[in-house]
């Protein structure tokens, strides 16, 4: 399996953890970043582990300093051969910054989409609720081919639009115990589905008190296979192929 969205740079004792994950059948991860230092750390980790490196500014974090932004743009150009995607990027919803500087975030996101498009890089997106529609409109404006809406929360009509555009949608271990995520799958063809953990973000339900890692993917896989009424191995093969197709 491949974890399609994880904050690899936020784990300690990473060498030991990666070894454990690999022994459990995790063949790779899509490692996303949250800011400039995180982007450098993700690129460094890619040199040692089987990871698709995605660098970017998480939209729920404080707006980046102009110098950090300029350095990041240069970093993207310089490290293009090492990159699997631009991410985690998108639009804020949960932070106080979401209301006071939303237009600034939209303008910055549009700049990021232009950069990704010019370099033929997919986008790993944080765009939920009303932000999903805005992000989708910007992607369509620049004819973006590959985009991944991670841990999507949106109205059914928007989910259907995202699917029609050929973009990918992922679910977290919440799919094992939350009806919202199970309902989401009813709109997503298996050929456009990815599995993620968003680790080290913690989960509730049967995973309460457990460390979030790619080891939880097996539980999501079993649940997803049952919901799609397919055998586990077939679903695993399909989802791994989906992940490789977008992140190449």
Other C-beta atoms lying within 10 Å of the C-beta of residue 105: 22
Q: How far apart are CA 228 and CA 144, in angstroms?
A: 28
Q: How far apart are CA 28 and CA 129, in angstroms?
A: 29
- Residues 140-149 pLDDT 10s: 999 999 999 9
Q: How far apart are CA 198 and CA 30, in angstroms?
A: 10
Q: Which of 214, 220, 248 is nearest to 236 (CA)?
A: 220
Q: Quote the percentage of the chain above a pLDDT of 90.
A: 92
Q: What stretches of the chain adopt beta strand conformation (E)? A: 2-6, 28-31, 51-55, 83-90, 123-126, 147-149, 168-171, 193-195
Given CATH 3.20.20.140, say whether it is the number of domain 2-247.
yes
Map residue 81 onto helix, strand or coil. helix
Q: What mean pLDDT, rounded, does the chain reach?
A: 96
Confidence of residue 102 (pLDDT cuts 50, 70, 90): confident
Q: Give me the mean pLDDT over the 79-95 stretch.
A: 95
Residues ≥6 apart with Cβ < 8 Å to 231: 225
User: Can you say whether residue 223 is alpha, beta or left, with left for phi > 0 and alpha for psi between -120 and 50 degrees?
Assistant: alpha
Confidence of residue 212 (pLDDT cuts 50, 70, 90): very high
- Length of the chain in terms of residues written: 248
* Of 102-106, 148-152, 165-169, 198-202, the least confident: 102-106
Q: Give me the mean pLDDT over the 225-229 stretch.
A: 98
Q: Would you state the pLDDT for residue 187?
A: 97
Q: Check the annotation: does 126 bind a ligand.
A: yes
Q: Would you state the pLDDT for residue 96?
A: 64
For 164, half-sphere exposure in the C-beta direction (CA atoms, 13 angstrom radius) is 9
Domain boundaries of the chain, sorted by first residue: 2-247
Q: Check the annotation: does 5 bind a ligand.
A: yes
* Of 95-104, 126-135, 188-197, the least confident: 95-104
Q: Check the annotation: does 148 bind a ligand.
A: no
- Residues 34-71 pLDDT 10s: 999 999 999 999 998 989 999 999 999 988 999 999 99
Q: Tokens 């059948």 correspond to what residue?
A: 25
Q: Would you state the pLDDT for residue 62?
A: 87
CA dihedral 162, 165, 168, 174 (to 10 degrees): 20
How much is the CA Rg of the chain, to the nearest whole Å? 17
- Pull the structure tokens for residue 71: 């350095």
Q: Quote the percentage of the chain above a pLDDT of 70.
A: 98
Full-model pTM: 0.96
56 DSSP assignment: -
Q: Would you state the pLDDT for residue 167?
A: 98
- 217: pLDDT strictly greater than 90: yes
């Amino acid at each position: 399996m491949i974890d399609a969205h994880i904050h690899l740079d936020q784990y300690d004792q990473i060498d030991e953890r990666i070894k454990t994950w690999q022994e459990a059948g995790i063949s790779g991860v899509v490692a996303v970043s949250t800011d400039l230092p995180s982007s450098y750390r993700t690129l460094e980790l890619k040199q040692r582990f089987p990871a698709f490196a995605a660098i970017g500014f998480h939209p729920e974090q404080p707006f980046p300093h102009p110098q950090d932004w300029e350095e990041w743009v240069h970093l993207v150009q310089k490290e293009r051969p090492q990159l699997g995607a631009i991410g985690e990027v998108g639009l804020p919803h949960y932070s106080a910054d979401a209301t006071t500087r939303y237009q600034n975030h939209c303008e910055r996101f549009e700049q990021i989409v232009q950069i990704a498009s010019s370099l033929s890089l997919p986008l790993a997106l944080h765009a939920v609720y009303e932000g999903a529609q805005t992000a989708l409109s910007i992607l369509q404006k620049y004819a973006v081919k590959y985009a991944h809406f991670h841990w999507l929360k949106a109205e059914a009509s928007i989910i259907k639009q995202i699917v029609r555009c050929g973009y990918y949608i992922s679910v977290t271990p919440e799919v094992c115990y939350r009806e919202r995520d199970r309902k989401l799958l009813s709109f997503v063809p298996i050929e456009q589905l990815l599995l993620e953990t968003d680790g080290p973000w913690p989960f509730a339900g049967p995973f309460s008190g457990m460390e979030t890692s790619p080891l939880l993917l097996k539980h999501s896989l079993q649940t997803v296979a049952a919901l799609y009424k397919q055998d586990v191995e077939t679903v695993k093969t399909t989802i791994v192929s989906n992940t490789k197709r977008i992140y190449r």
